[in-house]
Amino acid sequence: MMTRAHILAGRAAIACPAQAISLFVALVLAFVAPASAYAQFRGAPASPGFSLAPPGGPSDRPVPPGSIPNVPAPAAPAPSAPPAALPSPFPTSPPLAAPSPLPQAAPPAAAAPLIPAGQAALNVSARFAHDGPPIPSGLVWRVYPSRPDPTGVFPVLKEDRGASPTFILPAGEYVVHVTFGLASDAKSVQLRESVKQVFEIASGGLKVKGQVGGVDIPPQQISFDVFKGSQFDSKDGQRPFVNNMLTGQVALVPEGTYYIVSNYGDGNAVVRSDIRVQAGKLTDVTVTHRAAVLTLKLVDKKGGEALANTQWSVLTPGGDVIKESIGAFPRVILSEGEYRAIARNEGKTFEQDFKVVTGVDREVEVLAR
Q: How far is CA 194 from CA 118, 144, 174, 191, in A?
A: 11, 17, 13, 7
Residue 9 placed within a domain: no
Choosing from 139, 174, 200, the residue where a domain stops is 200
Q: Is 316 exposed, middle or buried (0-12, 13-18, 19+ CB in 10 A)?
A: middle
Q: Measured at the alpha carbon of residue 227, what is the angle toward residues 226 and 231, in degrees to the nearest 5?
A: 115
Residue 260 placed within a domain: yes
CATH of residue 170: 2.60.40.10
Domain that holds residue 208: 204-289
Find the helix or strand (DSSP H, E) in which 38 lies.
helix 17-42
Largest CA distance in the chain: 202
226 three-state secondary structure: strand
Find the helix or strand (DSSP H, E) in which 245 lies.
strand 242-245
Q: How far is CA 165 from CA 185, 201, 202, 291, 294, in A?
A: 16, 16, 20, 50, 56
pLDDT value at position 115?
82
Question: Same structural domain for residues 237 and 297?
Answer: no
d(CA 307, CA 327): 8
Cβ-based neighbours of 360, under 8 Å, separated by 6 or more = 292
Choosing from 289, 318, 341, the residue where a domain stops is 289
Choosing from 166, 200, 234, the residue where a domain stops is 200
Residue 135 placed within a domain: yes
Per-residue confidence of the chain (369 residues) as pLDDT tens digits? 444 444 444 444 444 444 545 555 455 444 444 444 443 434 444 444 434 444 444 444 444 444 444 544 444 444 444 444 444 444 444 444 444 444 444 445 455 567 888 899 999 999 998 888 999 999 999 999 999 999 999 999 999 999 999 999 999 999 999 999 999 999 999 999 999 999 999 999 999 999 999 999 999 999 999 999 999 988 888 899 999 999 999 999 999 999 999 999 988 999 999 999 999 999 999 999 999 999 999 999 988 899 999 999 999 999 999 999 999 999 999 999 999 999 999 999 999 999 999 999 999 999 988
Question: Same structural domain for residues 309 and 274?
Answer: no
Question: Same structural domain for residues 283 and 302?
Answer: no
d(CA 341, CA 324): 10
Residue 243 placed within a domain: yes
How far is Cα of residue 194 from the mean position of the Cα atoms in its chain?
A: 39
Residue 157 placed within a domain: yes
Contact 263, 269 (CB under 8 A): yes
- Listed as own residue / partner, the contacts of 75-81 with beta carbons closer than 8 Å and 24 or more positions apart are none
d(CA 258, CA 245): 14
CATH of residue 274: 2.60.40.1120
Question: Same structural domain for residues 221 and 253?
Answer: yes
Closest-CA residue to 165 (of 122, 111, 108, 107): 122
d(CA 128, CA 204): 8
Residue 257 placed within a domain: yes
Write the Ramachandran bin of 354: left for phi over 0, alpha for psi from -120 to 50, otherwise beta.
beta
Q: What are phi and psi of 200, to 5 degrees?
A: -110, 120
Question: Same structural domain for residues 281 and 351?
Answer: no
Cβ-based neighbours of 165, under 8 Å, separated by 6 or more = 123, 124, 141
Tell me, what DSSP letter sits at residue 346?
A: T
What is the number of domains present in the chain? 4
Q: How far is CA 247 from CA 206, 220, 222, 228, 299, in A?
A: 11, 8, 7, 19, 37
d(CA 331, CA 361): 10
Question: Same structural domain for residues 264 and 308?
Answer: no
Residue 100 placed within a domain: no
Q: What are phi and psi of 280, to 5 degrees?
A: 75, 10
Residue 152 placed within a domain: yes
d(CA 205, CA 84): 87
Question: Same structural domain for residues 284 and 304?
Answer: no
pLDDT value at position 112?
58
Question: Same structural domain for residues 176 and 240?
Answer: no
Contact 191, 171 (CB under 8 A): yes
Closest-CA residue to 269 (of 341, 358, 353, 209): 358
d(CA 264, CA 332): 10
